[in-house]
Chain A
Amino acid sequence: MSDQVSREGREPAPSGAVAATSRGAVRSMGTLGVTLIRFAIIVGFFALWQIASGRWIEPFLISSPSRIFTSLISGFREGDLIQHTWVTFQEIAIGFPIGAISGIGLGYAFGRSRILAEIFEPIIVALNGIPRTAVAPLFIVWLGIGLWSKVGVVFLLTFFLNFFITYTGMRQMDQEYIDLARLMRVKGWKLTFKVIFPAISPYLFTGIRTSIPFAVIGAIVGEFVASTEGVGFFIRMSAGIFKTADVFVGIIVLMIMVIVLDKIAEMIEKRALRWQTQTEHIQIQA
């Protein structure tokens, strides 16, 4: 009997291992080629840009990689770019978590309460129909031209995305998990945090990661409308006086901000969803 147990357990291992090796080999061979091609494209693009600037196209239109690099260095050295970056970061650091958490919270509440969902769903859908950046000027009127109006726009953009994705997750959740847990007398906070949130966590992370670029858009749009500092302000001012290199500097800063935030979210996601990503097979010792 014991060898039957082990046979049953061992069975998946060889096929899984073989598949993993051959797939891994293909991937590692492909990765090098892919990296090289990608690198060549990037280098070629910047080289072409550098050559075109001043020869075929006016530098004030497209600047050039070398000028942008110099501006980036001097911008940070003189300190005002750091200040602008810090301001924009603050707007996101406050607006994004509040927006994400309240979006997730409401999505969860809608998923649990049919009455709530039935009453408010059409209203939320209608509100979602408003182009949210169009509301930005109102936030300036309500909250002034400082930090809080931008926090408001960031909040608005992150809230709806997180709400809809969380709510979708709640509706797709496997009822049997909840039934089983409740049969085991699990309820209240334990049901919420040990069953429901883990079950929908892939959705939560999708919502959070999708909304990161939108949070940055929110901050910039807010700053475009009215502001005295921030990366959006820096971009608008630079464009106004045709300092094209600085416009690109601002764009690069925003790009890096999105990438860094996404990487942080990705790290947390990998850790939180490690139960999902593990695919290695096990072997039972005979």
Chain B
Amino acid sequence: MPDLAPAAANTTQDLSDLVIRVENVSKVFHTPSQPNLGALSDIELNIRPGEFVTVVGPSGCGKSTLLKLIAGFSPPSAGRILFQGKEVRGLNTEVGYVPQESKLFPWLTVEENVGFGLDSNRFSRADRERQVSQFINLAGLTGFEKYYPAQLSGGMSKRASIVRALAYEPPVILMDEPFGPLDAQTRMVLQDELLKIWEQKRQTIVFVTHDLVEAVALADHVVVMTHRPGKIKDIIKVSMARPRNIFEIHRQEGFDEAYGRLWNIFRHELNIGAH
């Protein structure tokens, strides 16, 4: 393991062009049964514009909590989060969010869902229609514009949910295990489509997953988190060339090296966390 880069590795870079900066953030939940449930502890993380960052860790390590803090759904217990240099206070409307379940608005059609974030101040009627049909097309949902979410398959809902977050073009998209419940084949197809869309649009993506292969296959950097209370164990740089071929990701140069390093860390984690 030559380059077991500590979390601080990318803090040494120029901070001025960061899109997200997480500074010493901790989060403690107070529930009736556990009054001091530590979810995150002392998180330091820097994300540059256009990066595809994946966050992996065992379940319950606070990966989702981290995303929710960046989205501003709730404030950190300590530390602060800077978004484009400004502290996040309250809801962060500069990010798009793709939740674990698709959470399309069931009372709106595919078309209305995808266009939901395109408000009339920023988009003219014609722009809006163009944007919606472009993203529906990107998601491979052309022909399903008038369908309601209940009529879609799981994979289709997922795709619609992702382009709903992309369509209004927030600079950052947060994705919380979006492909979690899908079967392996569908996952691969969607990973491939996500990368294709991302290569065209190049938004910053923070993508939470518990799948190590997925984490490496998609990312520029993989953030590895430990058991609760979640800490950042390491950040691994993935130097695989793009565009990547998801379907043959194992054969691509750089995969084995990054995956090996990730697995080494994880093996260690599993020993600690074994029950």
Chain A positions near chain B (C-beta within 8 angstroms): 1, 4-5, 7-9, 11-12, 174, 176-177, 179-186, 194-195, 198-199, 201, 274-276, 278-282
Contact = CB atoms under 8 A, between A and B. Distances in A.
Contacts of A177: 103, 105
B140 A275 contact: no
The secondary-structure label for the interface of chain A is helix
A279 B92 CA distance: 36
B36 interface: no
Interface string B217-245: 00000000000000000000000000000
A182 B95 CA distance: 11
Nearest to B121: A185
Contacts of B105: 177, 181, 195, 198
Given A201-B107, A282-B147, A5 B99 contact: no
A186 B185 CA distance: 35
Contacts of B147: 282
B242 to A, nearest CB: 18
B71 A183 contact: yes
B116 interface: yes
B181 interface: no
B106 interface: yes
B266 interface: no
B185 A181 contact: no
Interface of B: 71, 73, 91-93, 95-97, 99, 103, 105-108, 116-117, 119, 140, 144, 147-153, 155-156, 168, 185-186, 188-189, 192, 247
A184 B150 contact: no
Contacts of B186: 4, 8
Pick the most buried of B91, B117, B153: most chain A CB atoms within 10 A of its CB. Answer: B153
Contact of A1 (B116, B155, B189): B189
Given A4-B185, A8-B189, A179-B73, A275 B148 contact: yes
B93 A185 contact: yes
B127 to A, nearest CB: 16
A183 B189 contact: no
Contact of A5 (B73, B91, B108, B189): B189
A12 B155 CA distance: 11
A5 B119 CA distance: 31
Contact of B192 (A1, A186, A274): A1
Contacts of A1: 189, 192, 247
Contact of A282 (B103, B108, B144): B144
A80 B151 CA distance: 52
A39 to B, nearest CB: 36
A184 B188 CA distance: 28
Given A8-B185, A184-B117, A185-B119, A198 B107 contact: yes
Contact of A276 (B106, B140, B152, B153): B106
B93 A176 contact: no
A110 B148 CA distance: 30
B97 A12 contact: no
